[in-house]
C-alpha cells in the first residue's frame, strides 16, 4: 500500500491528500502536501469557501453524494462528470472496501477537479437519472468518479426516495468479518443482476445455486412474488442473503443525520424503518411443495436467523451485535458531523494557466493550441485525464481512446448511448466505429497492394486522427461524426438483427452475439464491414438467401470460437472484402474458398485458424478411440482395456482423430496448399489438439444447442446492459448432468482410483447443461435418471412440465443418449438412491462407468453436430 499524507485536525477531522493505490504511488501536484499543511479551512453553516485555483478544499461525504443524489444538500463545490470520463467500473469488492475504509476513518485519496469548460460536454453519474434536479455544477471531476459513486451509494435510500429502477444498493452486515477478509466492517452490495448479493466471505464470487434457490423462496414468500422472475425483483424487496445481520446503510445514515449527536435516537429511528422491510413480514406465504419442503425450511431458518440477529443489534443491550451497532452509530455521528467530520480533499486545478505547459508536452501541437482559451484548456484537461488515470482502476486501450473521442467530440457518448442496439460496451462500439470509418477510407484508395484490417488505434495515433493531423486520413473527424450520426444506428441495428433474429430458428442467442463483439472484435468488424458494403447496395444482411445466411453465421462463429489467432485469420480475407464485387459475390462472400484462406498457416507457419473435422470424422474418432464400437480394441468396451489405466489416453485419442480417413491429408492441404511447405505432421496434430481443447469447454456451442429453451426462458434478458456484461451475471447456471459430487469423497476430496478418462470427459460440455439458476437442484449428488425425469415447481415456472420436456431442454437425445444416462449410475432396486457412491473407482461397476462415458461422448458429438449442421459448416470445408 502506498503511503498517504494524513492530516489530523481538531474535532477528529480526517483528511487525506493524494491518490492511494495498492502497489502504486500517491499522485498529487508537486508540493501539494506542503501547501495544504499550511492552509486552514473553516466552515460556516456547512458552507465551504470557494476553492481557489491550484489549491485544495475539503468536502463532506454528504456533499460528494449530492453530486448525484438530489435529496442531499450540496456544498459550494458541485462537480459534474465530463463526457470524456468512462462509466462506473468498480467491482463489488472495491465499493465494499471503500466503505470499510471510510468507517475506519482511513484516507481514500484526493479528488481532482477543474473549472467548467465550454468545450467539454457532461454525462450522468451512475446513480444519476435524467429526471434528477441537481444543482448547477461549479467544476468538472477529472479523477475520483468511482470513489464518488461508491460514497453516494451509501446515501442511496431506495426506500425513502422511491427509486423505481435502482441497479444497486449498499447494506452493512453488523456481524464480525470473516477471518479471510482484511476488513473490519462487512459491507454488502446488492445488484439488479444479483438481487441476493454476492458471497460474504468472497465478494468477487456469486452465491451457490442452493443459496440462490433458498433466497428466491424467501423473497417470493415475504413479498408475495409468486410467479415473478428474479430479474423483475425491485431491490427494495430483497436483501443480501449470505449475511448474518444486515441493515441498509442508507437507513443508518439517514437516522444519524436526522438525530445529530444522539445515537440512542438514531438507533430508534433506524429500527423503526428497518422493521418495515419485507424480511420482517408476518406469515410469509412459502411454497411448501418445493423439493419436499427442504428449501422452504432452509429459507425460513435463514430469515429467522437474520431477523433475530438484527433484533439483537437493536434491542439486546448485552449482545455483541448491540455494541457493534452502537460503535457504528457513534462513528457515523463523527463522520457526518456538520463541523468537522470525515472530509475528502479536493484538488482544484485551473488549467487555463497550465494550458501552455501541459499542451506543449505533445510532439505535434499547433500554435493556436498554446493559448489559454477553451480549446487549450480542453487539451490540458485531456492530457491530465490520461495521466491521472494511469493509477487506480487503470484506464487503457479502448476505454482511454473512447475518453479521448468524447473529449474531441462531446456528443459522441450521446450518439452511442442512443443506439438502438449495443452489442458491447460503449468503448468497444466506439472503436469498432473508428475502425469501420478507416475501412471505408480504404475503398477509395489504391488497390495495388494487399490491404490490412485497420488496427486498434494507440492513444497518440488516435489523437492525431481526431485532430485531422494524419495525412492518410485528413478528414477523419468529420467522417467519424457523419458515420455515427447518419449510418451507425442503421448499420448496428441491421447487424444485430442479422445475428439474433428470433424468427429464424438457426440464429444466435443475444448472449452469443454480445460475446462475439466483446471477445472477438476483429470478427465483429469483419461482419460490420460486410454489412456496410451490402447496405451501400441497398441490401440488408437479413435479406440474403437462407443458405448464405446460415453459412455466414457459421463462418463468423467458427472464426470466433476456433481461431487461435482471430486477427490473422480475419486479415487473411480482409483485402478481398475491400475489392469491387457485384451483389451476388458480396452476398456469397463468406464461402469455402475464403474459409480455406483463413485456415492457411502464416508466413512463419503459425496456426491462424483450425480446419474443422466433419461430424462423421469426429464421431468415428470417438467411436474407435473411446467408446469402442465396431470391435475396436483398447477402448472402454473391455474392463481390462488400458484406457481405464492410462493417464495420457488423450494423446492417443488426438492421434487417432488425425489418422481417421483422409483427414490428415485434407488438413495439410488447407494449412499449406502451396508446394515447398515443411512437413505438416506436427501442425495437423496441433490442429487436432486445439480443436478438441476448444470444443471441450465451448459454452457457446452448448448455448447454441439449447437456444430455443433459453429464448423461451429469458425473452427479455439483455446481455448488452453494463451490469450483465460479465459472464457471472447471467440468469442461468452451468450444471453437471452427472454430478461432480460423485467424483469426491464425503470429506470433499477427489476420490482415489477414478480413471483419468472419466475425469477428463466429466468436465467437458458433454456433461454440462445451461439451467435456470433457481431451478438448479440443491442436491449435489442426484443421479441423472432423477435429474432428467422428475420436475418440481421451479421447473414448471420455466415451462418444463414433464421428463420429456426436461430432457429436451437439457439437450439430451431420447434415442441416442437417454438410455446411457439412465444406466450411468447404479441405483437401488426401488430407484430412489444411489447404490454405491464410490462406484466410479470400482471395476465391478464397469457397465455403469462405460454407460457414463458413452452418454457424455454421444452428447459431446451431438452438440457439435447441431452447430455444424445448422450453420452449414460442411459447406466451408
pLDDT tens column, 855-867:
999 999 999 999 9
d(CA 708, CA 603): 42
For 582-605, what is each residue's pLDDT tens digit? Answer: 999 999 999 999 999 999 888 878
Residue 189: phi, psi to the nearest 5?
-100, 130
**Separation in Å, CA 13 to CA 41, 342, 344, 345, 740:** 11, 6, 10, 11, 54
Higher pLDDT among residues 741 and 381, named by residue: 741
Mean pLDDT across the stretch 26-30? 32
Residue 702: phi, psi to the nearest 5?
-60, -50
Higher pLDDT among residues 847 and 6, named by residue: 847
Supply angle C-alpha 223, 229, 234, rounded to 5. Answer: 50
Mean pLDDT across the stretch 660-686? 73
| Per-residue model confidence (pLDDT) at position 85 | 66
Instruction: Output the average pLDDT for the chain.
Output: 82
Residue 443, all three cell numbers: 475503398
With residue 732 as reference, give the H or E element that holds it.
strand 732-736
Q: Number of helices (H) and strands (E) in the chain: give both, helices first.
A: 36, 15
Can you say whether residue 459 is alpha, beta or left, with left for phi > 0 and alpha for psi between -120 and 50 degrees? Answer: alpha
Residue 344: phi, psi to the nearest 5?
-110, 125
| Axis-axis angle for helices 546-562, 521-536 (nearest 10) | 160
For 427-474, what is each residue's pLDDT tens digit? Answer: 889 899 999 999 998 876 656 678 889 988 888 888 888 888 888 899
> With contact defined as beta carbons under 8 Å apart, do 840 and 742 qualify?
yes
Supply angle C-alpha 464, 469, 470, rounded to 5. Answer: 80
> Residue 71: pLDDT above 80?
yes
Residue 233, all three cell numbers: 425483483
Supply angle C-alpha 49, 52, 55, rounded to 5. Answer: 110
Strand partners, 770: 734
d(CA 491, CA 429): 12
Higher pLDDT among residues 454 and 288, named by residue: 454
What is the side-by-side order of every strand in the sheet holding 343-348?
55-60, 343-348, 111-114, 139-143, 79-82, 122-123
Residue 777: phi, psi to the nearest 5?
-60, 145
Identify which of 342, 351, 2, 358 has the alpha carbon closest to the alpha carbon of residue 142: 351
d(CA 782, CA 792): 14
> Residue 371: pLDDT above 90?
no
Higher pLDDT among residues 409 and 758, named by residue: 758
Supply angle C-alpha 525, 526, 530, rounded to 5. Answer: 115
| Per-residue model confidence (pLDDT) at position 134 | 83
| Per-residue model confidence (pLDDT) at position 54 | 54
> Residue 181: pLDDT above 60?
yes
> Residue 10: pLDDT above 90?
no
**Residues contacting 91, CB < 8 A, separation 6+:** 203, 204
For 197-208, what is each residue's pLDDT tens digit? Answer: 999 999 988 888
> With contact defined as beta carbons under 8 Å apart, do 526 and 556 qualify?
yes
For 257-287, what is each residue's pLDDT tens digit? Answer: 999 989 999 999 999 999 999 988 877 767 6
pLDDT confidence tier of residue 84, bands split at 50, 70 and 90: low
Percent of the chain with pLDDT strictly greater than 90 = 43
Higher pLDDT among residues 667 and 491, named by residue: 491
pLDDT confidence tier of residue 143, bands split at 50, 70 and 90: confident
d(CA 665, CA 475): 50
d(CA 153, CA 250): 8
What is the side-by-side order of every strand in the sheet holding 186-191?
186-191, 168-173, 246-248
Q: Residues of 752-790 as b/e, b for ≥16 C-beta within 10 angstroms? A: eebbebbebbbbbbbbbbbbbbbbbbbeeebbbbbbbbe
Residue 409, all three cell numbers: 467530440
Mean pLDDT across the stretch 331-342? 86
| Per-residue model confidence (pLDDT) at position 324 | 95
Lowest mean pLDDT among 313-327, 328-342, 524-538, 645-659: 645-659
d(CA 247, CA 328): 12
Which stretches does DSSP call E strand in 73-204? 79-82, 111-114, 122-123, 139-143, 168-173, 186-191
Identify which of 597, 572, 573 has the alpha carbon closest to the alpha carbon of residue 671: 597
| Per-residue model confidence (pLDDT) at position 452 | 87
Residue 574, all three cell numbers: 480482409
If you compute the radius of gyration of the chain from its CA atoms, what whole number of angstroms results? 31
| Per-residue model confidence (pLDDT) at position 40 | 33
**Residues contacting 63, CB < 8 A, separation 6+:** 48, 72, 73, 74, 75, 77
Residue 799: phi, psi to the nearest 5?
65, 25
Mean pLDDT across the stretch 100-124? 83
| Per-residue model confidence (pLDDT) at position 360 | 35
Mean pLDDT across the stretch 682-692? 85
| Per-residue model confidence (pLDDT) at position 27 | 34
d(CA 827, CA 563): 43
> Residue 375: pLDDT above 80?
no
**Residues contacting 746, CB < 8 A, separation 6+:** none
Residue 365, all three cell numbers: 501541437
> With contact defined as beta carbons under 8 Å apart, do 845 and 826 qualify?
yes
> Residue 87: pLDDT above 70?
no
| Per-residue model confidence (pLDDT) at position 427 | 85
> With contact defined as beta carbons under 8 Å apart, do 296 and 217 qualify?
yes
d(CA 286, CA 793): 12
| Per-residue model confidence (pLDDT) at position 212 | 87
d(CA 492, CA 483): 11
Identify which of 742, 724, 753 has the alpha carbon closest to the alpha carbon of residue 842: 753
> With contact defined as beta carbons under 8 Å apart, do 515 and 524 qualify?
no
Higher pLDDT among residues 116 and 558, named by residue: 558
Residue 622: phi, psi to the nearest 5?
-65, -40
With residue 208 as reference, give the H or E element that holds it.
none
Percent of the chain with pLDDT strictly greater than 70 = 81
| Per-residue model confidence (pLDDT) at position 421 | 77
Strand partners, 172: 187, 247
For 728-782, what is each residue's pLDDT tens digit? Answer: 668 888 999 999 889 887 666 778 889 999 999 999 999 999 998 877 765 567 8
pLDDT confidence tier of residue 347, bands split at 50, 70 and 90: confident
> Residue 6: pLDDT above 50?
no
Amino acid at each position: 500500500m502506498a503511503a498517504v499524507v494524513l492530516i489530523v485536525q481538531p474535532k477528529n477531522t480526517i483528511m487525506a491528500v493524494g491518490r492511494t493505490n495498492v502497489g502504486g504511488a500517491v499522485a498529487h501536484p508537486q508540493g501539494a502536501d506542503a501547501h495544504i499543511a499550511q492552509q486552514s479551512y473553516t466552515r460556516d453553516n456547512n458552507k465551504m469557501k470557494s476553492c481557489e485555483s491550484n489549491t485544495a478544499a475539503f468536502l463532506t461525504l454528504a456533499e460528494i453524494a449530492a453530486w448525484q443524489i438530489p435529496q442531499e444538500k450540496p456544498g459550494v463545490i458541485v462537480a459534474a462528470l465530463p463526457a470524456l470520463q468512462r462509466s462506473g467500473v468498480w467491482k463489488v469488492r472495491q465499493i465494499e472496501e471503500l466503505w470499510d475504509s471510510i468507517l475506519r476513518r482511513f484516507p481514500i485519496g484526493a479528488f481532482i477537479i477543474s473549472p467548467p469548460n465550454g468545450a467539454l460536454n457532461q454525462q450522468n453519474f451512475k446513480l444519476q437519472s435524467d429526471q434528477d434536479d441537481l444543482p448547477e455544477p461549479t467544476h468538472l471531476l477529472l479523477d475520483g468518479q468511482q470513489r464518488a459513486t461508491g460514497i453516494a451509494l451509501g446515501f442511496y435510500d431506495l426506500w425513502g426516495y422511491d427509486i423505481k429502477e435502482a441497479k444497486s444498493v449498499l447494506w452493512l452486515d453488523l456481524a464480525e468479518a470473516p477471518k479471510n477478509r482484511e476488513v473490519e466492517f462487512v459491507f454488502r452490495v446488492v445488484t439488479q443482476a444479483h438481487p441476493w448479493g454476492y458471497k460474504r466471505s468472497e465478494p468477487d464470487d456469486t452465491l451457490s445455486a442452493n443459496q440462490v434457490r433458498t433466497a428466491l423462496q424467501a423473497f417470493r414468500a415475504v413479498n408475495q412474488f409468486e410467479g415473478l422472475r428474479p430479474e423483475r425483483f425491485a431491490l427494495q424487496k430483497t436483501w443480501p442473503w449470505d449475511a448474518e445481520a444486515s441493515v441498509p446503510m442508507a437507513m443508518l445514515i439517514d437516522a444519524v443525520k436526522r438525530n445529530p449527536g444522539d445515537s440512542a435516537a438514531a438507533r430508534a429511528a433506524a429500527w423503526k424503518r428497518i422493521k418495515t422491510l419485507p424480511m420482517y413480514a408476518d406469515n410469509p406465504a412459502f411454497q411448501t411443495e418445493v423439493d419436499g419442503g427442504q428449501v422452504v425450511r432452509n429459507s425460513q431458518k435463514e430469515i429467522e436467523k437474520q431477523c433475530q440477529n438484527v433484533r439483537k443489534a437493536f434491542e439486546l443491550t448485552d449482545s455483541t451485535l448491540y455494541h457493534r451497532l452502537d460503535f457504528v452509530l457513534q462513528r457515523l455521528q463523527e463522520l457526518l458531523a456538520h463541523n468537522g467530520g470525515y472530509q475528502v480533499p479536493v484538488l482544484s486545478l485551473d488549467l487555463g494557466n497550465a494550458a501552455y505547459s501541459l499542451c506543449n508536452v505533445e510532439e505535434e501541437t499547433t500554435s493556436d493550441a498554446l493559448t489559454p482559451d477553451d480549446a487549450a484548456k480542453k487539451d490540458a484537461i485531456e492530457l491530465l485525464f490520461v495521466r491521472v488515470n494511469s493509477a487506480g482502476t487503470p484506464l487503457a486501450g479502448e476505454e482511454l481512446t473512447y475518453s479521448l473521442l468524447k473529449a474531441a467530440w462531446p456528443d459522441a457518448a450521446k450518439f452511442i448511448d442512443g443506439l438502438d442496439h449495443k452489442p458491447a460496451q460503449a468503448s468497444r462500439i466506439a472503436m469498432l466505429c473508428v475502425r469501420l470509418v478507416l475501412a471505408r477510407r480504404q475503398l477509395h484508395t489504391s488497390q495495388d497492394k494487399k490491404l490490412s484490417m485497420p488496427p486498434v488505434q494507440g492513444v497518440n495515433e488516435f489523437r492525431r486522427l481526431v485532430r485531422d493531423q494524419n495525412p492518410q486520413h485528413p478528414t477523419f473527424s468529420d467522417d467519424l461524426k457523419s458515420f455515427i450520426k447518419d449510418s451507425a444506428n442503421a448499420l448496428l441495428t441491421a447487424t444485430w438483427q442479422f445475428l439474433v433474429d428470433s424468427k429464424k430458428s438457426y440464429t444466435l442467442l443475444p448472449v452469443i452475439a454480445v460475446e462475439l463483439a466483446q471477445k472477438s472484435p476483429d470478427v465483429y468488424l469483419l461482419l460490420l464491414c460486410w454489412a456496410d458494403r451490402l447496405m451501400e447496395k441497398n441490401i440488408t444482411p437479413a435479406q440474403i438467401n437462407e443458405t448464405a445466411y446460415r453459412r455466414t453465421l457459421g463462418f463468423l462463429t467458427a472464426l470466433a470460437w476456433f481461431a487461435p489467432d482471430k486477427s490473422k485469420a480475419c486479415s487473411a480475407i480482409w483485402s478481398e472484402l475491400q475489392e469491387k464485387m457485384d451483389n451476388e459475390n458480396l452476398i456469397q462472400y463468406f464461402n469455402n474458398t475464403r474459409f480455406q484462406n483463413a485456415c492457411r498457416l502464416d508466413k512463419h507457419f503459425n496456426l491462424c485458424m483450425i480446419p474443422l473435422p466433419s461430424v462423421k470424422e469426429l464421431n468415428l474418432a470417438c467411436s474407435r478411440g473411446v467408446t469402442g464400437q465396431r470391435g475396436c480394441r483398447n477402448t472402454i468396451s473391455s474392463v481390462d482395456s488400458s484406457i481405464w489405466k492410462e493417464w495420457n489416453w488423450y494423446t492417443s485419442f488426438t492421434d487417432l482423430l488425425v489418422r481417421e480417413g483422409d483427414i490428415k491429408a485434407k488438413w495439410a492441404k488447407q494449412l499449406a496448399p502451396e508446394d515447398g511447405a515443411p512437413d505438416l505432421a506436427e501442425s495437423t496434430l496441433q490442429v487436432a489438439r486445439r480443436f478438441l481443447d476448444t470444443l471441450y469447454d465451448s459454452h457457446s456451442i452448448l448455448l447454441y444447442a439449447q437456444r430455443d429453451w433459453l429464448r423461451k426462458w429469458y425473452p427479455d434478458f439483455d446481455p448488452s446492459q453494463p451490469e450483465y456484461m460479465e459472464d457471472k451475471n447471467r440468469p442461468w447456471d452451468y450444471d453437471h448432468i452427472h454430478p461432480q459430487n460423485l467424483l469426491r469423497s464425503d470429506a470433499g476430496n477427489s476420490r482415489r482410483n477414478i480413471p483419468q478418462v472419466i475425469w477428463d470427459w466429466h468436465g467437458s460440455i458433454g456433461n454440462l447443461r445451461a439451467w435456470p439458476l433457481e431451478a438448479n437442484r440443491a442436491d449435489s449428488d442426484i443421479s441423472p435418471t432423477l435429474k432428467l425425469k422428475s420436475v418440481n415447481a421451479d421447473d414448471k415456472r420455466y415451462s418444463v412440465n414433464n421428463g420429456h420436456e426436461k430432457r429436451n431442454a437439457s439437450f439430451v437425445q431420447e434415442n441416442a443418449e437417454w438410455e446411457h444416462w439412465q444406466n450411468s449410475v447404479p441405483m437401488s432396486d426401488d430407484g430412489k438412491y444411489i447404490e454405491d457412491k464410490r462406484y466410479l473407482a470400482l471395476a465391478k461397476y464397469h457397465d455403469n462407468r462405460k454407460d457414463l462415458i458413452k452418454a457424455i461422448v454421444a452428447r459431446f458429438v451431438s452438440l457439435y453436430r447441431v452447430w455444424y449442421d445448422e450453420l452449414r459448416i460442411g459447406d466451408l470445408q
